[in-house]
Structure 1
Amino acid sequence: MSSNLSPSGAQMPRSSRPPRTAPAPRTRLLLPLALLAVWLVVGGALGPFAGRLGEVATNDQAAFLPRSAESTRVLEEQKAFRSSEAVPAIVVWTADGGGTLEPGAAGRATRAVAALAGRPELAGPPSAALPAEDGRALRAVVPLRPALDDALPDALDEIRRAAGAVPGTTVWLAGPAATQADLSGAFSGIDGLLLGVALVTVLLILLVVYRSVLLPLLIMLGAVFALGLACALVYVLADADLVRVDGQVQGILSILVIGAATDYALLLAARYREELAAPGADRFSAMRRALRRSVEPIVASAATVALALVALLVSDLSNNRALGPVGAIGIVCAVLGALTFLPAALVLTGRAAYWPARPSPHGAGPAKGGRAVWERVAALVDRAPRRVWAFTLAGLLACAAFAPALSSRGVPFDEIFVNDAPSVAAQETLGRHFPGGAGSPAVIIADADAAPRVVAAAEDVPGVVSAFPVDAAGRPARGTPPAVDGRVRIDATLADAADSDAARETLPRLRTAVHAVPGADALVGGTTAQRYDTQHTAARDRAVIVPVVLAVILVILVALLRSLVLPVLLVATVALNFAATLGVSALVFEHLLGFTGTDASVPLYGFVFLVALGVDYNIFLMSRVREESLRHGAAEGVRIGLTATGGVITSAGVVLAATFAALGVIPLAFLVQIAFIVAFGVLLDTLVVRSLLVPALVRDLGPVAWWPGALSRRRAPDRPGPA
């Protein structure tokens, strides 16, 4: 059905409609056709790299420790004491029915694992089976080669079969090898599963919201091409060992590119649709105007996210440093696709891109009913801005009050996996029958001459069960311990589980005791030390990176909005949104999801994503408000800008929240926590902060919000004052 609506929405007589413009010369099609051809080649040649990042990814957590921490130095020195690199698998036998083991069970268990000696998967001979003090369990260590990768599950199955030869027992596999296998299983198929869930979710949302067949497909195609380009670049850099990629970074990259590319594309598509509806507009002139008015906010938005991610290079945690450049590459590719592929595709398809809907001056947002909603919201903000911002501010502050309850001391081992994992159950079984730190000792490296005094000092520390020098195979050394360059390794078994609060409290006492031994030059590492150092480094990173990110965003906003007051206001509101999100997350994690803590990096990741992405939506809104304010005055500019952008920004926020929520399909606590924080925070920012708080504050402040720019000196026609 044809439409006779004028740009203002009024009915136009047929005779007054603008004449159709002449067909564009064919030469004007050359540039969009060339851009489309380039992206088709990029998509065809580089698209497969989205599924190949796993080839250059590592899930070895040792590669992502604090660079300057004591535990990292121990890890480096510890390599010299190994006859070969090994990843230990701890075999645990328990008596069926929970009773006492039969006499001779230890000997049979030792012979069972000894039969594995000489297999190519092993890095050395298995240890003897040691009985627990309660007589109900045995444990032995089987060292595996570290580079088994896909062969690790098969190697563990062989160990399980061999260990099962002990009658009357149940076999459990714990230790780093078992955990690594479960982690690999959690990340297996991440490329296809995560990408598929994200794309299908976003496509369904776009189809429902925009009621167009072709536009969502074009937007998704551009996002997939951008992801292929980003993954190819990251693959090359990771293969050259210039960046590190693990499963977490890999998953976040996919989500970040899809979400960001879709957001930027929606903003451009909305503006293009407005321009197509202008009298006398053709698709080429409409795209020129749409690009001219959209490039600045899109580039500014992308710059805030990319530079916020680059700021992670200041971190001392290697996994944070890994995400920084990888994420920034993804954002650059996303904005490149949105500003080259999509304009070419929209110019070539013209009005057909929006079929069966028709271009209108109200943007590419939801249909007229959605615009009516935003007209009412804008009217409310315009009529009573002070009450609007007071109520929303009070609600956000109430949520933020719970933020200190969010613990970032790390995720306990039994909560790392959202679903039940065999290695977790095995570790719990090991902890019931042996000292909590068995299998994950504190590792002390000290000068050989001081070894007896270091052992004595360690054993005197409350919370340490035993300490003894070990040989190259990790077994207690008999006689004089082997020294490498005058240094020896001493293992200290803690009374509590390596990931427990009690173990973390023991660690500083242990370090203080062995550091005080004269001439020992002792260092303490191991699992507990790594978690302890990671936690303290993460706290230091937050103190350093948060101000850097806020400063970068503030500079970009000042340059974009030509104001000082408004950028400070926007940064404050997105920071408040982050605090409110953390408060809600603290309640949800503890009372609904059952998490007792979050990974040390979760608050920083959440801050970077929420603040940078939250500023995105404020940039989209306030750049349009500024444009309209220059024409109509500050007060009217807020009303028109909020009405014009409400639908498209809200739908962009829903899309981004949905893409980050897709991270929840990976059954790891870290990614589930990040998924919730970003998804909830984006929705809170889109529906409350950007829709109510910011426009109400700007309307209430009036021209003062734009000080010292030209808008602060421009006076609009007299209007009723704010309520």
Structure 2
Amino acid sequence: METFDHQTFSLARLVGGGRSVAVLVLGLVLAGTVLILAPGATESTEASANLPADAESALAQDRLATLPGGDDAPAVVVVSRDDGQALDAEQLGALGRLGSTLGSALEAEVSGPVPSVDGTVALLTIPLPGDVGNEANAERIETLRADVTDALPSGLTAEVTGAPAIQADLGAVFEGADVRLLLVTAAVVALLLVVTYRSPLLWLVPLAVVGLGDRVAAKVVEAISHWAQLPIDGSTTGITSVLVFGAGTNYALLLIARYREELRRHEDRREAMRQAVGAAGPAILSSSGTVVLGLLALLLADAPFVNRIGLAGAAGIVVAVLFALVVLPAAMSIPGRWLFWPFVPRVGDSDPTERGLWRRVGLRVTRRPALVTVGGLVVLALMALGTLGLRTGLGQDEQFLDTPESITAQQTLASAFPAGASSPTTVVTSPRLAEQVARAAADVPDVQSADVGRPSATVAPVSVVLSDPPGSDAALGTVERLRAAVQEVDPDALVGGQDAQALDEATTAQRDRTVVVPVVLVVVLGMLLLLLRSVVAAVLLVATTVLSYVSALGVGWLVFDHVLGWSAMDVSTPLLAFIFLVALGVDYNIFLTARAREEMRASGDATSSVVTALGVTGGVITSAGILLAAVFAVLGVLPLVLLAQLGVVVGFGVLLDTVLVRGVVTPALVAWCGRRFWWPSAVARAPRRAR
């Protein structure tokens, strides 16, 4: 094999006796400084946080805010009898007194009680200021629920819903989430590292380095949020933590595997680490650079939540790669070879990869490369067929894995009132045209009622109650028809409310996929061209990675639809899964083909080079893929459907890419193309040499 000159890679020069100690100490000092001095984040869990400022529903909310109390957000108290019978006059009277008490305590004008037609459910509507922070909102909802429970007559059940209650319940989902996610992720990573290294000591070093990098990355993201005034919530920090742990551990696995390999060639462990950093560093930088640029491409999206994931994730990956290529080599080279006990590598030891499982796989798949390639692509294509029936857009009652009170209240409300009563749609128009707009709205199919509210000199609200459940496909279709109808009367009319927001989020998500996906593909293709200097290799690797993403999306949708019974994917799932799978998934092809290119320069034989590369990298890449898939699966500890869906799609996609694409299809493609795989680089013209 060709020997790599570590002097050509600057980070390799940081490894040395005194230098490693200095680098480790400096890294710890800088990490401690960030952990202590970094400012806290600007946080938000608002339901409308994924709306661009120019969305119609956002513009409607801005115009409503000019009305007296226009920025109010109604909380709805839903009351029913425990035995399911109709409420009697005495109970309704008690609810009236409860409304007066709540109004006095909250300094609000409480409406109701309003009984349903069958009398089984009544509701109280309490306008609450909508411009309070998350903590203040959570406290007032908790107080409201406690006050209602204390004052409620026996035999009755009360539930609180509406936008403030949903916001509070969403915030409650993430209480203690960072600690829970960190502990579960660290436990999963520790277990897999122990299994991978089969050493009671070695796993401690990468886990400690990556864990510290994760905490530093979290603080860096919080500082960016603070300085840029970009609100983040638990889902943003959770996804970023998973990215840092997953990618950081992957880079650590690749570096340590190369270090172990070099320890069999060099007596001096520091020289071995310099060679390892010099050999693995370019591939790690290329793969991490691809991930960072792919995540930064999310800044082109209109959806604020997607923007924040892109910025936070890119910052996290930069921190992860710094810890993997600067701090980890120092930490690993200070101890002796005993760190690998009981399987300590010695100079002159035979390379176990020469007779390992993945070398045997490589020999098999390259014997009949055309058949293996076509067979692998057919399997991927069959999996991808699952995307044909894919639907996006979850209703409010489908956002949580565990149903909170605000959602069960909506279900109770929908059983007796029009389904949209808990979150009416609002049309914003001029006072002059308000009555006409209300009549046009009332004539739209599936609109239950349309009533003109209290206008100002320039703005009049029209409250529209839909017949369909909030966030459902039917409700979104009604909003589309409603917009068309009212804008025929008043071209400047704006339709807002939760259903309008959901429709705008779906439209924005479609636009973002159209814009971001091509940019990411260009970025990935460009990075592969820079690394491999081969047009054929770059195009084929991108194509197989994209196909594995579509296959994972298809299988994921079949699981969600037929096994878990979810009606749709979250609007953000396909795009975020694409970024993670294409940017992270191409890592494994980079690790494999970068090593194959190195072997190709030495041997001049495309088939033997990819077989050797697969034998050498197969074990560590498989371990990295399993670990990354397991880390993404940890997102399921946070009870949001979006995160669970990301965990399933990305986890399965990583395994698919690791085993089938990188382990079978890519080696077969290289063997099938032969030297043409490396065209037009000089490697394609490398002379054949005896091994």
TM-score by length of 2: 0.93
Where does residue 602 of structure 1 map in the other structure?
A: 573
Deviation at 1:688, TM superposition (A): 0.7
Distance 1:363 1:242 in 2: 56
Matches within 5 A, 1:191-340: 191-278=178-265, 280-340=266-326
Query: What do residues 421-449 of structure 1 show as CA deviations (whole Å, max 9, x unaligned)?
Result: 22221110001111111021111111111
Matches within 5 A, 1:299-698: 299-359=285-345, 368=352, 372-408=356-392, 410-470=393-453, 481-484=454-457, 486-518=458-490, 521-633=492-604, 634-698=606-670
- Does structure 1 residue 127 correspond to structure 2 residue 114? no
- Does structure 1 residue 141 correspond to structure 2 residue 125? yes
Deviation at 1:82, TM superposition (A): 4.3
C-alpha change, 1:450 and 1:93, in structure 2 (3 Å) is same
Deviation at 1:275, TM superposition (A): 1.1
Deviation at 1:126, TM superposition (A): 2.2
- Does structure 1 residue 31 correspond to structure 2 residue 19? yes
Q: Read off the aligned partner of 1:34 and give its amino acid letter.
A: A
- Does structure 1 residue 181 correspond to structure 2 residue 152? no
Where does residue 57 of structure 2 map in the other structure?
A: 71
Q: Read off the aligned partner of 1:686 and give its amino acid letter.
A: T
Is contact 2:354–2:615 with CA below 8 Å preserved after alignment? Answer: no
Where does residue 704 of structure 1 map in the other structure?
A: 676
Deviates more, 1:652-661 or 1:495-504: 495-504
Query: What do residues 510-565 of structure 1 show as CA deviations (whole Å, max 9, x unaligned)?
Result: 111111115x6211111111111111111111111110000000000000001100
Deviation at 1:89, TM superposition (A): 2.0
Distance 2:546 2:347 in 1: 34
Structure 2: runs of 5 or more not aligned:
3-13
C-alpha change, 1:96 and 1:291, in structure 2 (3 Å) is closer
Partner SS state of residue 90, structure 1: strand
Provide the aligned length of Structure 1 versus Structure 2: 675
Deviates more, 1:506-515 or 1:173-182: 173-182
Partner SS state of residue 437, structure 1: helix
Distance 2:147 2:71 in 1: 19
Q: Read off the aligned partner of 2:657 and give its amino acid letter.
A: D
Is contact 1:564–1:706 with CA below 8 Å preserved after alignment? Answer: yes
Q: Read off the aligned partner of 2:558 and give its amino acid letter.
A: L
C-alpha change, 1:369 and 1:306, in structure 2 (3 Å) is closer
Distance 1:211 1:361 in 2: 20
Is contact 2:270–2:333 with CA below 8 Å preserved after alignment? Answer: yes
Distance 2:628 2:659 in 1: 13
Percent of paired sites with the same residue: 41
Deviation at 1:360, TM superposition (A): 6.0
Distance 1:529 1:45 in 2: 45
Q: Read off the aligned partner of 2:426 and give its amino acid letter.
A: V
Distance 1:466 1:342 in 2: 64
Is contact 2:15–2:274 with CA below 8 Å preserved after alignment? Answer: no
Q: Read off the aligned partner of 1:143 and give its amino acid letter.
A: P
Is contact 1:116–1:162 with CA below 8 Å preserved after alignment? Answer: no
Distance 2:569 2:53 in 1: 21
Distance 2:107 2:211 in 1: 42
Distance 1:411 1:658 in 2: 25
Partner SS state of residue 214, structure 1: coil
C-alpha change, 1:82 and 1:649, in structure 2 (3 Å) is farther
Distance 1:630 1:363 in 2: 24
C-alpha change, 1:85 and 1:456, in structure 2 (3 Å) is closer
Q: Read off the aligned partner of 2:447 and give its amino acid letter.
A: V
Deviates more, 1:588-597 or 1:150-159: 150-159
Distance 1:27 1:503 in 2: 62
Structure 1: runs of 5 or more not aligned:
1-6, 8-25, 471-480
Is contact 2:108–2:127 with CA below 8 Å preserved after alignment? Answer: yes
Deviation at 1:62, TM superposition (A): 1.8
Q: Read off the aligned partner of 1:341 and give its amino acid letter.
A: V
C-alpha change, 1:533 and 1:285, in structure 2 (3 Å) is same
Deviation at 1:123, TM superposition (A): 6.1
Distance 1:222 1:590 in 2: 40
C-alpha change, 1:510 and 1:150, in structure 2 (3 Å) is closer
Distance 2:398 2:37 in 1: 32
Deviation at 1:100, TM superposition (A): 1.5
Is contact 2:603–2:687 with CA below 8 Å preserved after alignment? Answer: no
C-alpha change, 1:363 and 1:64, in structure 2 (3 Å) is farther
C-alpha change, 1:287 and 1:101, in structure 2 (3 Å) is same
Partner SS state of residue 296, structure 1: helix
C-alpha change, 1:362 and 1:267, in structure 2 (3 Å) is farther
Distance 1:110 1:45 in 2: 57
Partner SS state of residue 215, structure 1: coil
Query: What do residues 122-157 of structure 1 show as CA deviations (whole Å, max 9, x unaligned)?
Result: 362322211111221110112345331552453233
Distance 1:499 1:370 in 2: 57
Partner SS state of residue 52, structure 2: coil
C-alpha change, 1:131 and 1:70, in structure 2 (3 Å) is same
Deviation at 1:627, TM superposition (A): 0.2
Is contact 1:85–1:123 with CA below 8 Å preserved after alignment? Answer: no
Distance 2:243 2:36 in 1: 18
Q: Read off the aligned partner of 1:107 and give its amino acid letter.
A: G
Deviation at 1:714, TM superposition (A): 2.9
Distance 2:257 2:690 in 1: 32
Distance 1:362 1:374 in 2: 22
Deviation at 1:509, TM superposition (A): 1.1
Distance 2:565 2:291 in 1: 31
Partner SS state of residue 89, structure 2: coil
C-alpha change, 1:599 and 1:46, in structure 2 (3 Å) is same
Query: What do residues 29-70 of structure 1 show as CA deviations (whole Å, max 9, x unaligned)?
Result: 2221111112222444444799x96x6321112232133211
Deviates more, 1:79-88 or 1:380-389: 79-88
